[in-house]
Amino acid sequence: MSTLVYKQDGYHLEPVPQGRNEWVNHPDADPRMPGLFAARATILPGMGHDFHRHPGREEIIYVLEGAIAQWIGQDRFVLEAGDSVCVPADVVHASFNVGPAPATLFVVLSGAMTSDPLAIDMAGEAPWCSLPTP
C-alpha cells in the first residue's frame, strides 16, 4: 500500500458560500481512505458554517488563523488561532467568523460505519434557528 502524501496542489477544492474547503482526504478524492475526512476550511468575514450535525462522526476543529464563534449545542465559545474543540458525534454545532479577516480552520471528522450523509443541516430547526449569529 502506498503512502498518501498531499502537496498544496493535491487538494480536492470545494468552493462553498462561506469560503472554501480544501479537502486533504475526502472519499470522492481518494477512495483508499474511506470514512476519514480532513480539510482546511476558510470562512470569510461575517460568514459561517451554519448549524449542522455529523451522524456517527466526531469532529476536531483547530483554528489556524482568525477568530470564530463556535457553537456546540447551545453553548457559544470564541476560538482564536491555536484554539481547538472536539465535537461529539451527532451534536449540533456551527462556526461563524467574528473577525475582520478570513478565518482558517483545520477540521478532521472520524470515520463512521454508516450510510448517513456527512452532514445534516439543522439551521432551520428550533432551537438553532433562534440562536444569535453574525
Asked whether the predicted pLDDT for residue 2 surpasses 70, the reply is no
pLDDT in tens, 19-57: 888 877 765 555 565 667 889 999 999 999 999 999 888
Query: What is d(CA 109, CA 131) in angstroms, rounded to the nearest whole number?
Result: 25
Domain ranges of the chain: 10-130
DSSP string for 55-84: TT--EEEEEEESEEEEEETTEEEEEETT-E
**Domain 10-130 fold:** Jelly Rolls (2.60.120)
Residue-wise pLDDT tens digits, 45-104: 999 999 999 988 899 999 999 999 999 999 999 999 999 999 999 999 999 999 999 999
- Residue 133, pLDDT above cutoff 90: no
Q: Please tell me the predicted confidence (pLDDT) of residue 4.
A: 45
Tell me: pLDDT of 11 over 80: no
Q: What is the mean pLDDT of residues 107-125?
A: 79
